[in-house]
Structure formats: C-alpha cells, structure tokens
Amino acid sequence: MVNEEKNNEIEEKVEVEDSPKPEISDHHFGWESLASVEESRQNQLISEVYSLMSTGDDLKLDFIKDEWNSLSAEGIDPKLEERFNHAIKLYETRQERIDEAQKIKKELIQEAEKVKDSKEWNKTATYLQELQGRWKEAGFAGQDIDQELWEKFRAINDVFFDSRSKHFENLAEAREETREVKEKLIEEAEALKDSTDWKKTSVEMRDLMTRWKDAGFAGRDYEDALWERFNESRQHFYENQRNFFEELRATHDEAKNKKAEIVASAEKVVESFNPQTVREEMDKLFEEWKTIGHSGREHEEKLWSQFKSLQDEFYFKIKNRDLKTAEERREELENEVELLEVRMSALENLNEKVKIKLTSLERQFEESDSEELAAEIAELKASYEENEKKLDEYADDLDRYSKELFHIS
C-alpha cells in the first residue's frame, strides 16, 4: 500500500511537470508580463498541493487556497483552474484515506493490546495474524505517523509472540522431564505386576496411576508408547488378581456344596436316632466339616448355624438317653467336656476363618467401596464377637464340669 501511494505521488508530480509552460510575451521587454508571472505561480501552487499529499498539512493547504484565490481575482485560465481543483480533490480524497487508515490502525493497536498477554497461544496467534492482514489492507496512514503506528503495533505483536516462543521452549523442557518421570513410573509398575499381595499392590497401583496423571503430557511422539508400556503392567496385575478371586469363588462354591451335604447327613443322623446310635456318627461329620475350607460370605454362617443346631439336638438326645448314675454322670460330664472342647476348637477355627474372610472383604471394600461389602463386613464382625462370647460361655461350662468331675472322682 505504501508503494502504491508513492507511485500516485510520482504520477501527480509528472502531471504537474508535463503541464503547459507559461507563454513568454512576444514583446522583448526583458521581463515577463504580470499575467505570465501569476500563471507561473499558479503552476507552483498546484505543485505544492501535490507536495502536501504525503504530509497532510491542512493548514498549509488553506494558505495555498487563499493565495490561489487572490491570484485568480481578475480571471484565470480554465485549464489551470481545472488542474488546481483536481489537485485539491486528490489531496482531500487522499487525506480521507489517510485519516481512515490512521483510525483503523489505531483501533488495531487497541485490539492487539487487549490480547498481548493472552495464554491461548493458537487462538491468539491466529487472531493477531488476522489483525496484521487488516493492517495491510488499511493502507498508508501518512508519511510520519504511519511508521510510528507500525512500530507500536509491531511491538505489541512481539510481546505476545515472544511470550509464546518462551512458553513452547519451557513446554519442551517440561515434556522432557515428564518423559523421564513416566519412564520411572513404568519401571515401578513392572516391578509390581507379578505381586500377589492384592491389597497392598492395588493401593500402590492406584498411587502410580495418580502420579502418572499428575506428571502431565510427554509429547505426541512419546505419550502413546509410554502409556502402552505402563498400562500393560497394570493390566497384567489386575488380570492375575481377577483370576485369583475367580478361583477363590470356585473354591467357596465347592466348599458350600460339601458343607450342604454334611448338613443333610447330620439331619438323617438326628432323624434316625435310636438307643444304638453312637456319638461317633456326629463326630465324624464334624471332623469332615473342619477339613473343608470357607464357603463364602453368602453361605458360611448359614450353613454353620444349621449344622451346629443339629449337633446340639443330637448331643442333647445322647445326654438324655444315658442313665444318671455316678459313673454314667462322670461319663456324661466327660462327654460334655469333650464336646465343649470340640465346640471351642470349632469356634476358634471358625473365628480364624472369619478373620481371614474379613481381611479379604476389607481389601475388596477398599477397591470397590461397595455398600453391600460394608454390610457384610459388619455382619461378619458381629458374628465374630458373638462367637467370642460363646467361647467365654463354653469356658465357664468347662470349668464347672471339670470341678464336678473332680468331686465325682
């Protein structure tokens, strides 16, 4: 746009220079006539109008107009008048364009000033590039002020683009640090992937995941590959964990079925009780019960309650069947002591299994935070405390029976 304006100035100057020269009188007086002098001055005034195109000096233009009018008071060459008016019109049109360009460029400076401190790098860069395009389209803003405005506009742009360059330099350094951090996290995950300490390792895996997210982005060329290596170790651990608990559930199901069969056998022993029935029939079932593992939180307590109730009924029948002689009483007491010891042993074993189950459920609860698990844990704890109370009662009975046996003997 600047070159275009300069070319216009050159064309206008050429137009002035190519205009007809004032005619010289045929009278050889040795000096020009008054009319010739005035015409020469009018040509100079036209040239001065063109010379103002680049400066935009309205005050000087007013002086030129006044002088032109004073020279033209007694008449003027119409061609000169036309050329002068044409020059004035060109000046005014050009000045309007300059004024408009100044206004636009000042507004563009204000718009750029508003976003120079923006951190939206891509959006703001595109916006500033758009402003630069509009700056070029605005055109020439005057010989002196155009460069001044440009310096301001360029300085504002430099503030943003320098900040952006520094940001991406820092970002590149940060991503290099992120890659190093994530490489270390991958090493930690690989070291844990074969662990069977499910609770502890699950907590550590979650911590690694949190640290991975906090580490930030490692760059498009690295992030996906790093994540695949890191996630592979995590999934290896979780797959092993799933397989373990699936096998545990299968073991529980098998134990449940076996204990249900023992309960059914105990029911038959109680139902078929007769004078020839011996306690070994129930004792054998109990010994078998003790060899079977835990049947799962949904079934263990219910099955044990059923079996214990049948035991109590069976041993009560055994006790009532026997004669109450001293010898029989001694045997009865010995049986009671033995039964108490068996029950105490069973309860202790049961509570030990309950403790193991509680530990397993509490691990699962930390991972899933399930309300169902919370309720089951509370229920198992209550059962454990109830068994402990029962053990205390059995201990009191055992002490009482032992003292009675001492006196009988």
Q: What's at 203, amino acid-wise?
A: V
Q: Is residue 128 within 8 Å of 157, Cβ to Cβ?
A: yes
| Token pair belonging to 350 | 């049961």
Longest dimension (CA), the chain: 180
Phi, psi of 188 (to 5 degrees): -65, -40
pLDDT at position 2: 39
pLDDT at position 265: 92
Distance CA 298, CA 67 (A): 114
Give Rg (Cα) of the chain.
54
Distance CA 80, CA 20 (A): 9
pLDDT at position 37: 57
User: How crowded is the C-beta side of 362, counted as CA atoms within 13 Å?
Assistant: 11
Closest CA to 42 of 60, 77, 68: 68
End-to-end CA distance of the chain: 128
Closest CA to 300 of 249, 334, 252: 252
DSSP at 121: H
Distance CA 212, CA 362 (A): 26
pLDDT at position 9: 41
Q: Is residue 270 within 8 Å of 314, Cβ to Cβ?
A: yes
Question: Which residues, in sequence order, are CB contacts of 198 under 8 Å at separation 6+?
Answer: 241, 244, 363
pLDDT, tens digit only, all 409 positions of the chain = 433 444 344 334 433 333 333 333 333 333 444 455 566 777 777 777 777 776 666 677 777 777 777 776 556 677 777 777 777 777 777 777 777 788 888 999 998 999 989 888 789 999 999 998 988 888 877 777 888 889 999 999 998 888 888 877 777 777 888 888 999 999 999 999 999 998 999 999 999 999 999 888 888 888 899 999 989 999 999 999 999 888 888 888 888 899 899 999 999 988 988 878 888 988 999 999 988 888 787 888 888 999 899 999 888 888 777 655 556 777 777 888 888 888 888 888 988 888 888 888 888 887 777 788 888 888 888 888 998 898 899 899 888 888 877 776 6
pLDDT at position 409: 63
| Token pair belonging to 73 | 């008071």
Q: 391: alpha, beta or left, given left = phi > 0 and alpha = psi -120 to 50?
A: alpha
Element (H, E) at 293: none
Q: What's at 349, amino acid-wise?
A: N
Tell me if residue 142 falls in helix, strand or coil: coil
Question: Which residues, in sequence order, are CB contacts of 291 under 8 Å at separation 6+?
Answer: none
pLDDT at position 100: 79
Q: Is residue 150 within 8 Å of 193, Cβ to Cβ?
A: no
